[in-house]
Structure 1
Amino acid sequence: MRIYILSFLFSLSVLFSFAQDTGGKGKISGKVIDATTQQAVDYATVSVFKQGSASPFNGISTDEKGTFTIQTIAAGDYRVTVDFLGYKKYIIEHVIVKDGGVAALGTILLQPNQNQLKGVDIIAKAPIVENRIDKMVFNAQNDLTAQSGAAIDVLKKVPQVTVDIDGNVELQGNGNIRFLINGKPSSIFGASLADALQAIPASQIKSIEVITSPGAKYDAAGTGGIINIILKDSKVSGINGSVNLTAGTRQENGSFNLNARKGNFGVNAFFSGNAMLNARALNTNNRRSDNADGSKSTLFQDGYSDTRRSGYQSGLSFNWSITPKDELTASVGFDHFGNRNKGITSQEETQYGISGAVLQDLLSTRNSESRFSAYSTDFSLNYKKNFAREGQELEFLITTSGSKNTVNYFQRQDYDDPLMTATGTRGYNPGHDRETNISLDYTQPITKNFSLDGGAKVVIENLTNVTNTDTLDAAGNYLNNANQTYGFNYRRNVYAGYISSTASLFKNFLDVKLGLRNEYTTTNANFPGVVIPGYNTVAPSAVISHKFDPTSSVKLSYSFRIERPDYGEVNPFYNISDPHNISTGNPNLRPEKSNSVELGYNKSYNSGANFYVGSFYRHNNDDIQQYTTQYDTLVVNGDTYTNVLLSQRANRGTQSTWGGNIFASVPVGKLNLRTNIFIANRWNTAPDPANNNAIQRVSAFGYRVNLNANYQFPNNFMAEVFGNYNSSSRTLQGTRPQFFWYNLAVRKQFWDKKASIGLVANNPFNKYNEQRSITSGVGFYQENLRQMPLRSFGITLSYKFGKLDFGKDKDKEGRDNGGDQMPSDGGGGK
């Protein structure tokens, strides 16, 4: 009932917004081009002034074709200005707008400003959050408190995104997310997503794009949607760059960017590194089990683990504008990240007979250590052709990404009873991952208001893994265990094609985008007893939007998505780093299928305020969920383990989710307040092993609330505070913990804003963040308490340098505002 009420309120809010007065009835239209190159100038600012006024009351940015239409202008006499960085301002006096008429300004020629400026700091600041027709953009470089951390810290502040204490990311309550870097897939995400996101410094991130309803051009993979991390780049002429450094009690990072561009050729190079210093987490686990023979067992574990992480990213890209209509871009990147965990756990295992008498009480100490390392190389080559007809484009993209991953682990249990022999295992697991994407996309305008897009794509993925396992014998030697030593090869190819259309209907009253994508998947895994049949996926998508005026719009979208099981979910390797809590993959997982609908309304105000309200519904079939089973004894490849919980992913029925999101940003003088509220109610329907596999229905309500406030003091001094709360929610077998964190930051800019120094404090008044969770199933009940160290203090330094020539370089997907490039959507889908 709560979710129906919430959905009603969301819909009522949208309908109420629709009913607002849209103002006047006239329009002002035109097209802006470069007077020298005759190319369209996109994202030029068109402002409308009342005669005698010094401040505009309305305005808009030109689109990628340089065109603009400002609607709902009351009849009258106005002054219009056209402005863009690197060009002389164009002023048109006495623009007469008639009631119901269109004031057509025709083609406006902007004259480039040929003056070369030295030592200039560009200020073309985009809002923190931008709502566009197909995505939401979080401009991380304008956020203060996140700059000392990593990508995972930036994601915590992005609307509709939830990050838990372990770095697990959800989008609209769904963890099946397709992650991209600069619009391209990368094998850096394949080995360990949490570690990869910890290895990317926040200072290297320009923006994060959230796409909850991807169109046909994107890969159908990822039922939760797509998160695209855009790294900093520049297409500004001249030589320029930046240096960012952070030193702290828990985390250190640094990045260096260098950009050089002369005429039609540009080079960008960067290097960034990140290190999380040793962090000790405390863990307590209490389990009660019912054994098959009627006896009962308890397991109490109390210990700690020390964790360290480190990584680096580097990249080199080249851009060559061969002709005004032909562009070639190539890039290569080298990345590394890894972690080390080392801990000691005290254990007490007690077994009770049917009468309640103690049959056995074992005290032991478990020492464990694991090391993970991943090296990856990414290469891409992109060619884009613009034809004579405006909007006609051809794009070819090839990307290849390879990684080498290594896992080393060790665990040993020593018993207090001298008659008990120590047990233990150690392993060495090298692996390789190679993914290649080849795509071709074409856009053909049919009329002024109608165009067709189409393309094809091939994805070739090959993963190999070798598991080498040694077991501790009675003499204290580690000997190879042939039963747990094997190789696992996994190959998957995806062949895709799509077609989509974009149209403006009913005299531009509605913008419609319809698409259909077809993907055929083949999978081979050379593991005994595993046969994965090929399958075909037809994925339709649709977006319908309407602009009430330049400041408000509504969007309704639908998409069909799938979630292919990833390598870690299908790998049959048994993780026995804790013999009482074992996990393994499931090679027979089927892809998860999802249908989702989303409705959203966005409104911006002349004061700079922005408001967004949206709701969504998602239904998954063959829903992939982790399921835990209790075993009195479990035999794994010839070795026997007692009192075990085995965790494995499985297709568990269906999942339906209703939810909504409210985002608001309000400036109050020099104070800016920003909040994001996300709520969702989820229903899981799955067989219940505790009740003869009768269908059980589990309902889980959860919400996330955050608040950000920043204040601009005199003399380029700014302060900011951010707080975030995530509620607890139910799962199929228990509860997920609630969590809360907060950040404080101050920054001082100097040297004409070319340099800055900042101080950041994360959870300064709480040493630990407590995580309490429950897991239960047939024959067991388990409570877990984790205390995660989040308190830290840091200092950040940044410096921008270089000589800039403000000539307009064409970048159709974004604005050229001091290096803030918006990459294209990539080829053949994502």
Structure 2
Amino acid sequence: MKKLFPLLLLLVLSFNYTNSQRPGGDREKSSIQITGKVLEQGTDIPLEYATLVLQSVSDPNKITGGITDIDGNFNVESEPGNYNISIEYIGYKTIKKPNQSFTKNTDLGTIKLSFDAAELDAVEVVAEKTTVEVRLDKKVYNVGKDLTNSGANISDALSNIPSVTVDVDGAIALRGNGNVRILINGRPSALAGFGSTDALRQLPADAIEKVEVITSPSARYDAEGTAGILNIILKREKTLGFNGSVNTTVGFPKASSITSNLNFRTDNFNIFNTIGYQYREGPGNGYSDNFYKDTILGNLDRIIEDRDIDRLNKGININLGVEYFMTKTSSITASAFGRFSNGKDVTGNSTIRFITPNLDSRTFRQEIENEDDKSYQLSLNYINNINDEGHKLTADFQYSADKEVKPTTIQENNTFPDTELLAQENIFETEKQNEVLAQVDYVLPIGDAQFEAGYRGNFEESDTDYQLNELNLDSGEFVTNNGLTNRFIYTQNVNAVYSQYGNKYGDFSFLLGLRLENTQLKGDVTGVDLEALQEILGPGIDLNFNNNYLGLFPTLNLIYELNEMENITLGYNRRINRPRGYFINPFPSRSSRTNIFQGNPDLAPAFANAYDLGYLKRWDKLTLTSSIYFQKESNAFERIQETTGQTTTDGIEIIRSLPINLSTNQRIGSEIGILYNPKKWLRLNGSFNFFQFNTEGIFNDVDYGAKNTSWFSRFSSKVTLPGKVDWQTNAFYRGPSQNAQTDSKGIFSLDLAFSKDVFKDNGTISLNVNDLLNSRKRRSFTETEFFTSDSEFQWRQRQFTLSFIYRINEKKKNNRGGQRGGGGDEEYGD
């Protein structure tokens, strides 16, 4: 917008000047040069795209002018004469010099513009709104000033985006579908974690500039994620000079953090840096009441489990980058990211066991898991904007690595009627993951049309080294369990090429693309008693595998502009859901002696065809978005629960949760969203999503087919109170849902936040209450042919956070100049 305004103004000036010439008259051949420089008052930062207007005194219709370059300089050619001149820039006070005489080349010298407080207020109102842009293949949510993000993490911020839900475990879903691909600045990233969203809980929410919700991805994007893609665009300052912000928070339960976002930009380079430290304690809890049928537990037929969870996580995040402008149209960016954290989870599980209706025994199980996590990422990005028409070449290389060391001790004791040790285990687990990304994208404009082509290669490997030592109760010595001690190496390599073509005919636009991907999934199990493990897994499962899948993924996106404020969109795309290492790893978890999760090496990718029909309408103060969508997925993943045929040392049969490929999963739904800003002091935001899915499939002669209808809705309001105190309320409700074995109840949560600008708007102090009613809990009921379970789980209790942000050399959401071609956030994922 900063660039568009002066350019449009200059076009108008040129048009008026041309039409002011007398028919048949000749323009004087003599001309003069009027030069000068425009800076920001107080900082001396050059203002690019400031406008110089020359209006003839004798003929007011005769107008010409020009704009400043990257250094704030202007050079305007004009005829000699008397002119009223003005120097203008949006958000700044206009300087006017009436009746100036120019008879020769003239240097106006340095002109300094100061902020216009009244105009800046209007600009800030627009900048702080949460707005939505609809493009051919995505919706872009400019997060704006969401108070509940103060002191929050990225995972919390995503829960405020329409169409997105984040459950109590931190799992992210798009339109109720958990198979969503998370990208950072258009790329897979260590910042988002390797197949897990836990890393998003360790990064500050105020690092986000916008979120792209891509429910109908074009061929440019990886075909991974049957639900679609969430692309998180991080902030990067475009203003010349030194600027940034420092954000500090304290909270209860114990939480504290400090994050600095600093930037130094010159004509030739841009240095950006984010450093953050976080300390957080996360108390949680769980409860389950389990009834077992017939012979599963011998005489026992009921077990009640009550869990208390204490989590501690602390760590440092560092992101340092340099963008070098080689020319006015090309730049190269190098950046390095590191995350160093350590945590400790202590889970106490009190168990009451019955022979109905009598109490039989009590046990207490304590699990202490320590985790030392180190993540690194090195990135290199080249951008060449070959011309102003959009002809562009980009190339990326990225290397990411992560190492987690997780020693765990587990001890279980009888506490009634006798006190005795039942089991003790020591687990030593080291997980290493690395990823290499290489990508090239080329964009060629052809008149009103555009052609794109590119290549992307993703090469991932995870190496899990796992050793289980169990205490021999008779000898008192620890013995290695050779049936479960192992090393599992999982490799996923994806090579892809794509091309797409887009064009516009009047009010109709389309984007047609095709992507070819080859996926290699490879597993290698070593250091284990394969015969003993095969007995645990059952026959027919290949522990060492090397599978290749070649697939074509067509995409089509259409948009029809009914008018400037209204459009209809239609999208189709084919997607793939590749199993992550956690779902493939055949070695069972140890979170419970009697209920375990176990990966399935036979799990194959799932494929889906998705259709999306959308409608958008804008009014002066209201924006309406809506869509109807349908998706059919084959080989869909589903977790089932079954007996393993094994028992604990005290005779209880072990039940496992196992992911399998079911035949089909059909999903149909609709959503509607409203952004309403009736007054400057009041902003409202609401959305509603309704969906139904139908799963069909049989496994081990058990029918796991299920039909589920569910919905979720959110509402947000922001009110400016007297004294310029901002008050924001976020409410969310997710309706009940069902699958083949489990009914889940609805979840309601309410967040409140208050903020006040201080120190002449350079600082902001905020109070945030997350989950005010302490109601963000997962309640479910599971029934199988072996048992029933009534359970409740809460990841984290209600949180209070007090935060303070101080901005350095930058006004809140101001719109100063200083951007040049050849780099910037807008380059990602467009």
Give the TM-score category using the shorter length: 0.7 to 0.9
Cα distance 1:767–1:521, how it changes in 2: closer, same or farther (>3 A)? closer
2:664 to 654, 677, 682: 654
Measure the CA separation in 1 of the matches of 2:743 and 2:731.
23
Cα distance 1:267–1:568, how it changes in 2: closer, same or farther (>3 A)? same
| Structure-1 residue corresponding to 2:788 | 781
Q: Point out the structure with max Rg over C-alpha.
A: 2
AA partner of residue 129 (structure 2): P
For residue 381 of structure 1, report the CA deviation from its aligned partner.
Answer: 0.8
Deviations 1:516-545 (A, max 9, x none): 000111222112633232110110001000
| Structure-2 residue corresponding to 1:110 | 67
Deviations 1:282-316 (A, max 9, x none): 42332323337997732221232212233332111
Counterpart mapping for 1:125-524 below 5 A: 125=127, 127-133=129-135, 134-191=137-194, 193-250=196-253, 251-291=255-295, 297-350=301-354, 361-388=360-387, 390-415=389-414, 416=416, 418=418, 421-446=421-446, 448-474=447-473, 475-505=475-505, 508-524=506-522
- Give the 4+ runs in structure 1 shifted more than 6 A: 90-93, 116-122, 292-296
The 8 Å contact of residues 682 and 720 in structure 2, kept in 1 or not, is answered as yes
Cα distance 1:565–1:282, how it changes in 2: closer, same or farther (>3 A)? closer
For residue 597 of structure 1, report the CA deviation from its aligned partner.
Answer: 0.5
Measure the CA separation in 2 of the matches of 1:292 and 1:803.
66
Length-normalised TM-score, structure 1: 0.81
The 8 Å contact of residues 195 and 338 in structure 1, kept in 2 or not, is answered as no
1:536 to 527, 538, 550: 550
For residue 605 of structure 1, report the CA deviation from its aligned partner.
Answer: 2.0
The 8 Å contact of residues 164 and 173 in structure 2, kept in 1 or not, is answered as yes
For residue 335 of structure 1, report the CA deviation from its aligned partner.
Answer: 1.5
Deviates more, 1:718-727 or 1:299-308: 299-308
The 8 Å contact of residues 576 and 608 in structure 2, kept in 1 or not, is answered as yes
Measure the CA separation in 2 of the matches of 1:469 and 1:371.
15
Cα distance 1:566–1:770, how it changes in 2: closer, same or farther (>3 A)? closer
The 8 Å contact of residues 452 and 500 in structure 1, kept in 2 or not, is answered as yes
The 8 Å contact of residues 187 and 376 in structure 1, kept in 2 or not, is answered as yes
Measure the CA separation in 1 of the matches of 2:749 and 2:568.
33
Does 2:582 match 1:565?
A: no
Deviations 1:195-228 (A, max 9, x none): 2121111122222221111111111111111112
Cα distance 1:150–1:644, how it changes in 2: closer, same or farther (>3 A)? same
1:621 to 630, 634, 642: 634
Measure the CA separation in 2 of the matches of 1:419 and 1:238.
69
Measure the CA separation in 2 of the matches of 1:361 and 1:469.
30
| Structure-1 residue corresponding to 2:735 | 727
For residue 234 of structure 1, report the CA deviation from its aligned partner.
Answer: 0.8
Cα distance 1:757–1:811, how it changes in 2: closer, same or farther (>3 A)? farther
The 8 Å contact of residues 187 and 434 in structure 1, kept in 2 or not, is answered as no
Measure the CA separation in 1 of the matches of 2:733 and 2:388.
51
Does 2:652 match 1:642?
A: yes
AA partner of residue 516 (structure 1): L
2:696 to 685, 688, 691: 685
For residue 387 of structure 1, report the CA deviation from its aligned partner.
Answer: 2.5
The 8 Å contact of residues 614 and 625 in structure 2, kept in 1 or not, is answered as yes
Measure the CA separation in 2 of the matches of 1:176 and 1:234.
32
SS in structure 2 of the partner of residue 235 of structure 1: coil
AA partner of residue 87 (structure 1): Y
| Structure-2 residue corresponding to 1:790 | 797
The 8 Å contact of residues 239 and 803 in structure 1, kept in 2 or not, is answered as no
Q: Which has the higher contact order (CA 8 A, sep 6+)?
A: 1
Measure the CA separation in 2 of the matches of 1:181 and 1:725.
27
The 8 Å contact of residues 281 and 312 in structure 2, kept in 1 or not, is answered as yes
Measure the CA separation in 1 of the matches of 2:788 and 2:325.
64
| Structure-2 residue corresponding to 1:71 | none
AA partner of residue 669 (structure 2): G
SS in structure 2 of the partner of residue 268 of structure 1: strand
**Number of aligned residues:** 720
The 8 Å contact of residues 768 and 789 in structure 1, kept in 2 or not, is answered as no
Cα distance 1:293–1:372, how it changes in 2: closer, same or farther (>3 A)? closer
Cα distance 1:219–1:403, how it changes in 2: closer, same or farther (>3 A)? same
Measure the CA separation in 2 of the matches of 1:245 and 1:345.
35
Counterpart mapping for 1:810-829 below 5 A: 810=820, 821-825=825-829
The 8 Å contact of residues 768 and 788 in structure 1, kept in 2 or not, is answered as no
Deviations 1:694-726 (A, max 9, x none): 5x5311111111111111235532111111111
Measure the CA separation in 1 of the matches of 2:230 and 2:610.
17
1:700 to 688, 708, 718: 708
The 8 Å contact of residues 131 and 602 in structure 1, kept in 2 or not, is answered as no
AA partner of residue 551 (structure 1): M
The 8 Å contact of residues 245 and 805 in structure 2, kept in 1 or not, is answered as yes
Counterpart mapping for 1:582-621 below 5 A: 582-607=596-621, 609-621=622-634
For residue 789 of structure 1, report the CA deviation from its aligned partner.
Answer: 4.8
The 8 Å contact of residues 300 and 353 in structure 2, kept in 1 or not, is answered as no
The 8 Å contact of residues 317 and 331 in structure 1, kept in 2 or not, is answered as yes
**Identity within the alignment, %:** 24
SS in structure 2 of the partner of residue 132 of structure 1: strand
For residue 482 of structure 1, report the CA deviation from its aligned partner.
Answer: 2.6
2:764 to 756, 777, 780: 756
Deviations 1:611-640 (A, max 9, x none): 1111111111000111111346358xxx89
Cα distance 1:585–1:45, how it changes in 2: closer, same or farther (>3 A)? farther
Measure the CA separation in 1 of the matches of 2:300 and 2:443.
67
Deviations 1:629-666 (A, max 9, x none): 1346358xxx8972322011111221111111111111
SS in structure 1 of the partner of residue 483 of structure 2: helix
The 8 Å contact of residues 748 and 775 in structure 2, kept in 1 or not, is answered as no
The 8 Å contact of residues 141 and 147 in structure 1, kept in 2 or not, is answered as no
AA partner of residue 736 (structure 1): S
